[in-house]
Amino acid sequence: MSNHYDALGVSRDATAEEIKKAYRKLARKLHPDVNDAADAQDRFKAVTHAYEVLSDPQKRRIYDTTGNENGNDAGGGGGGFGGEGFAFQDIFETFFGGAGGGGGGGRGPASRMRRGQDALISVRVDLREAVFGVNKKLEIDTAITCPTCEGSCCRQGTAPTTCDICHGSGQIQRPMRSILGNVMTLATCNSCQGFGTMIVDPCNECMGEGRIRDRRTLTIKVPAGVGTGTRIQLANQGEAGPAGGPSGDLYVEMKVNNDPSFVREGDDLHATLSVPMTAAALGTELNFETFDGEQPISIKPGTQAGEVINLRSLGVTHLRGFGRGDLKVHIHVETPTKPDAEQEALLKQLAALRGETFTEGKLVSSGGMFAKLRDKFGNN
């Protein structure tokens, strides 16, 4: 188990102010926004957790006594009453009531520091960017730690003062009549809201919140293969917490724009290639523009409309795994719509050579399809 004091670099008899200063210094140094080291994020989480324990007087007392913040000693014993984890304090609270609200009910003053909320934003990318991945620079409006008071909530040169009602405990005693007679119960102090201290002179910029709303720029790496609805989690990039608390996480939801030339189905891309009727009949070689540049396509003689030519590994990159999908090119055969007189004469000559007979513009016989149908059904 890691030592929280060592994590913050302070001694066991360090004051609350020394612990706070040590945490702020390390948090600014290890925050993922400014430190891209591989272990920076894990160290930042460890430092934040250590501060959450040591900044709470009750949690710190338990940690110093038992060696962990859960209140169980190293030997696994759970206290009195057969080692089942029950203590006299628990029984007292069961019969006489604990305070609710921010004071935590007999567990010391509450901490003003809280984790910030998670945030969700949408980002649009083009299909090409989804195929190969891209770095996107974002501007987001969010809560950041107040740069003036650095999360202390107080005006520079001042500090929170101990509540003169609860004397720093965050709780007050109140008499209550019960079946056992008059007993004293603990309730959250209404004066300090259970924090044990008062912000008498709040920071002018954040009004005592310890954070402000501002716009910041963030560059994210969009991995290849994302699709509409894919979410990327960025740890500690959400809203900053009150009173210098750790930031929440930022979730980026992807939306892929439609492309004028390609349609995505899974990790395959589909496109249409139009070829003239003569090229489809005689065959040809064409260059087709893809996301990977021009690719040669061979149109075999007699290619029919609707045939599909498969270009392997020219589709979308697999998001989880290796390789890419395919690019499927659908052939569309262009038929002349308004042939001139010379073209029409040549087409009729071709039809005659193919055994196709037209009467008043209608095909009445053919050496191809009609001949086969006649042979099969003509004698019925």
Any known ligand binding at 163?
Answer: yes
Q: Where are the alpha helices (DSSP H) in 97-231?
A: 127-132
The CA distance from 8 to 114, in Å, is: 18
CA angle 43, 46, 49 (to 5 degrees): 150
Beta strand ranges found along 300-373 (DSSP E): 308-311, 327-334, 357-359, 362-365
For residues 111 and 52, the answer to whether their CB atoms sit within 8 Å is: yes
Residue type, 16: A
Q: Which residues pair with 271 in a beta bridge?
A: 329
Of 251, 250, 247, 249, which is closest to residue 48 (Cα–Cα)? Answer: 247
Any known ligand binding at 166?
Answer: yes
For residues 232 and 251, the answer to whether their CB atoms sit within 8 Å is: yes
Any known ligand binding at 154?
Answer: no
Q: Where are the alpha helices (DSSP H) in the chain?
A: 4-8, 16-30, 40-54, 57-66, 80-83, 88-96, 127-132, 277-282, 341-353, 369-377
Residue 135: how many CA atoms within 13 Å on its side-chain side?
Answer: 3
Pair type for strands 327-334 and 268-276: parallel
Any known ligand binding at 153?
Answer: no
For residues 119 and 250, the answer to whether their CB atoms sit within 8 Å is: yes
Task: Enter the tokens of residue 125.
Answer: 């990318």
- Token pair 């324990």: residue: 53
The CA distance from 250 to 123, in Å, is: 12
Binding residues for Zn(2+): 146, 149, 163, 166, 189, 192, 203, 206
Binding residues: 146, 149, 163, 166, 189, 192, 203, 206
